Amino acid sequence: MKRIDDTVLLTMFKEGKMQKDIAAHFGVSSVAVCKRLKRLLPAPESVLDKSNLTEKEKTFCIEKAKGKTNTQAALASYEAGSMQSAKVMGSQLMDKPEIQQTIAELMDNCGLTRNYRIKRLKQHVDHVDPQASLRALDMTFKLDNSYPPTKTINLNANVSLDPIDCDRWKIKN
């Protein structure tokens, strides 16, 4: 007799429940839940196979799903000449909707649904350690774009001083 109902299992998993909690619900071990999920969920390769991405873009998506930054993922998947070019490349790749969709599907298949990530982030926000709490709050602000956009201004100025002013600024020995 099968003890795990697949539809309930997938529903609980998509809601962000931990595998140990799902196992307790069904009265089975976490290993049994893990094995069943591997059979039910599509392999990450199938998500990548149905996308129209290049091999380098697929590698970028995998690296992003692993938790790397845009720059780190671009460095791992492309031959970037510098950190600055990798940063630009990563930003451009993340602007593509098909890349964003593939990363989201990869994360969903691995159990990192948006709901699950929000619950985990909330645990860190409510943490007793103020450092962990502040970092988690910072992450929430970044995720929903609450911070105003930053602007960088390069300013070049040509300054000429009158000879009279120059004498005033000389250092006396």
Q: Which helix (H) or strand (E) holds 165?
A: helix 163-169
Q: Where are the domains of the chain?
A: 6-41, 45-109, 114-143
Q: In a 10 Å sphere around its CB, with 0-12 CB exposed, 13-18 middle and 19+ buried, how is residue 43 labelled?
A: exposed
In this model, does residue 103 exceed pLDDT 80? yes
Put simply, whether the predicted model's pTM sits higher than 0.85 gets the answer no
pLDDT tens figures, 75-85? 999 988 889 99
Rounded to whole angstroms, the Cα distance separating 19 from 12 reads 9
